[in-house]
Amino acid sequence: MTEPRNAERPEGGPEQLEPLPTDWTRCLAVAAHPDDLEYGAAAAVAGWTGRGAEVSYLLATRGEAGIDGLPPAECAPLREREQRESAAVVGVASVEFLDHQDGVITYGTGLRRDIAAAIRRHRPELVLTLNHRDTWGGTYWNTPDHRAVGRATLDAVADAGNRWIFPELIEEQGLEPWNGVRWVAVAASPHPTHAVDVSAGLDRGVRSLLCHRTYIEALTDKEPEEYCREFLTWATGMAADRFGGRPAVTFELFPHQ
């Protein structure tokens, strides 16, 4: 396989994005918190499940520290329920939580092991995660949780295929190595290389984000449906001039094989 590259830039225009590969059937999406995937990536997921692909979600936390004024013990089950409802809207039935502590996720072997175990269980060809870089594009600093989970996911793909890294996964859980991951796609990266047309999945993406109603009501004074549609229309429209004028979700694509 050739390494991902941006298409040639049209005369006087922005650098163009390539279509994300579609010749795969299983995807594991890994994120730090409930709602992370819904701020764009879920609209792409809707299209993938619509064509028959199997997508599973893995959340490092239950988002228990995400709502000021709502104690973590009350917040966690609420956000877990909203995440499961949100995933169902875009055709995702499998949603797992790792129970790392929201807000203070630590990059390290424990996190890598947990993600590698999930990769061995689900045996995906595509792994999806969120921006692992320091910023969202040079101005806004990324959060420690996003950086830790994104980087650990990129590393765990190799861990999942090496029987001598985390051998306890074989001995204790019967999880044999999985070397079938072909790509890692990083959503919301400030350095995108590929994109997915979400014309057909945008409405389901909006409804999926809207399922996180408790979080959204704490986040903004806008009416939740107005906020969700406005945000996703803006976010997916930003890439349109780099992707044939179509609303799109962008990804930085790393080949694994």
- CA–CA distance, 41 with 133 (Å, rounded to integer): 17
Q: What is the pLDDT of residues 87-109, one digit of tens each?
A: 999 999 999 999 999 999 999 99
**Within a domain: 178:** yes
What is the average per-residue pLDDT within 33-59? 97
Q: Which residue has the higher pLDDT, 35 or 4?
A: 35
What is the average per-residue pLDDT within 215-223? 94
**Within a domain: 1:** no
**Within a domain: 34:** yes
Q: What is the pLDDT of residues 61-89, one digit of tens each?
A: 999 999 998 999 999 999 999 999 999 99
Q: What is the pLDDT of residues 14-38, one digit of tens each?
A: 689 999 999 999 999 999 999 999 9
CATH number at residue 106: 3.40.50.10320
**Within a domain: 2:** no
Q: Which residue has the higher pLDDT, 128 or 257?
A: 128
Q: What is the pLDDT of residues 152-174, one digit of tens each?
A: 999 999 999 999 999 999 999 99
Q: From its phi and psi, is residue 99 left (phi > 0), alpha (psi between -120 and 50) or beta?
A: left
**Within a domain: 6:** no
DSSP string, 60-85: SS--TTSSTTS-HHHHHHHHHHHHHH
**Within a domain: 16:** no
Q: Number of structural domains, the chain?
A: 1
**Within a domain: 119:** yes
Computed on alpha carbons and rounded to an integer, the radius of gyration of the chain in Å comes to 18
Q: What is the predicted pLDDT for the residue at 116?
A: 98
**Within a domain: 103:** yes
Token pair recorded at residue 145: 């949780």
Residue range of the domain that includes 94:
25-255
